[in-house]
Amino acid sequence: MNMKICLMPGDGIGPEIVEQAVAVLDKVAAKFGHTVEYSNALIGGVAIDATGNPLPDETVAACKAADAVLLGAVGGPKWDTLPGDRRPEKGLLGIRKALGLFANLRPAKLFPELAQACFLRPDIVKDGIDVMVVRELTGCIYFGQPVGREMRDGKMTAFNTMVYDEEEVRRIARLAFDAAMKREKRLCSVDKANVLEVSRLWREVVEEVAKEYPEVELTHMYVDNAAMQLVRNPNQFDVIVTGNLFGDILSDEAAVITGSIGMLPSASLGAGGPGLYEPIHGSAPDIAGQNKANPLATILSVAMMLRYAFSLNDEAQAIENAVQRVLQEGYRTGDIMEEGKSLVGCNTMGNLVAERI
Ligand code: NAD
Ligand code: IPM
Ligand code: MN
């Protein structure tokens, strides 16, 4: 198979981690007899520096021309004072919207080898952690209008709008039920229906979609409780479906209970066009350029890409197995380091995984 992949390394640690993920993808392709055709596109801060725009038209075109997109991360202190619609993050939101990527799958899985790096008590994680967060990605307060600032009663006032229409909820709910059908058939919908009208509509629509999936056990949970339950007893969850903002927050939490945010991959999918594969973490400016970043979330995002974009399950599994072997052998980047293990940098971690494909 020939795979056309658009690379968007972005900012901060983005280029370092994408380089390692590409090395692993090249190794998988060589081993399984595939070819990869890469294109490169600018997004985020590097795009602002080069063109003044966090999401140049050429970037959107390059993504649309590819079979799949691999993103590092965007953002950093250099661009933090720019107005909201010219920030690096706007580029990421823009490409998600432009590609119609309404669903973000964030699988939080604890590798048994990292049980010690996990912050939860051993008795809580003894059966592992395996939660799939399905985050809605193109709606909610991230995209709702109006947004702005104005003087109200003599005080500067800022506002964002949280909004979902029923169709947006229906399609993410269906995708989450489908995901649950392939797993333990348990779906927890997370909202704030005790306070927000948006959440009350969300809950109604999820209930309605549930009728199409009689085999799936559906529960509802308020987001504050869900944040607490996730650390108290993560095993109670199989699939979580939630809106854009709650999903952003809960998935960082889900990541750290699996050892580190540097471990959690994601797939952003939509209605058929190219998907975008990215680690859930950011550009980590505090460690950028120091060869300290954990590339495993990005490498595991390549596995998700192989599985979802190309149905190459053996190839995806080969990557996941290689990651597990490297962890078994005791290699750790700083974020998952523990006593008695071997501390390695981003490059070495990538090489070790590639060698084990
Ligand atoms: P962050 O995820 O970049 O970093 C949070 C902490 O986790 C930092 O201490 C960082 O060093 C650590 N960390 C993150 N990824 C790591 C990795 N792979 N290996 C080891 N440690 C890692 O979040 P932040 O500091 O809140 O945000 C920094 C910038 O990234 C901001 O500009 C933010 O907007 C942006 N951001 C981008 C994305 C994205 O591109 N998808 C996601 C989140 C944040
Ligand atoms: C993420 C990030 C983004 C988000 C930001 C950088 C726009 O936090 O991918 O999780 O909030 O979606
Ligand atoms: Mn986030």
Chunked in runs of 10, what are the mean pLDDT values of the chain (357 residues)? 98 98 98 98 98 98 98 98 94 98 97 88 88 98 97 98 98 98 98 98 98 98 98 95 98 90 96 94 98 98 98 98 98 96 98 98
- At 86, list the tokens: 């010219």
Give the mean pLDDT of the chain. Answer: 97
Model pLDDT, residue 104 = 98
The one-character DSSP state at 12 is T
Q: Give, using CA atoms, the residue closest to atom 40 of ligand 1.
A: 73
The amino acid at residue 155 is K
Token reading at 219: 């529960």
Pocket of ligand 1 (CB under 6 A): 13, 73-76, 89, 92, 261-262, 278, 281-287, 293-294, 297, 335
Closest Cα to atom 7, ligand 2: which residue? 89
In this structure, the residues whose C-beta lies within 6 A of any atom of ligand 2 are 75, 89, 92-93, 248, 280
> Which residues are part of a known binding site?
76-89, 96, 106, 135, 224, 248, 252, 282-294
* pLDDT at res. 211: 98
What pLDDT is attached to residue 256? 87
Query: Looking at residue 94, what is its pLDDT?
Result: 98
Q: Where are the domains of the chain?
A: 1-102+270-357, 119-257
- Residue 277 near residue 265 (C-beta atoms within 8 A): yes
Asked if domains 1-102+270-357 and 119-257 share a fold, the reply is yes
Please name which ligand lies nearest the alpha carbon of 11.
Answer: 1
Alpha helices of 84-141 — where are they, by DSSP H? 88-98, 122-125
What's the gap between Cα 294 and its chain centre? 15
Q: Which CATH topology does 1-102+270-357 take?
A: Isopropylmalate Dehydrogenase (3.40.718)
Instruction: Point out the residues that are catalytic.
Output: 142, 192, 224, 248, 252
Fold adopted by 119-257? Isopropylmalate Dehydrogenase (3.40.718)
Among residues 193, 196, 107, the alpha carbon closest in space to that of 144 is found at 196
Check residue 307 and give its pLDDT: 97
- Ligand 2, atom 12: nearest CA belongs to which residue? 248
Which bound ligand lies closest to the C-alpha atom of 337?
1
Residues with Cβ within 8 Å of residue 327, at least 6 apart in sequence:
111, 113, 114
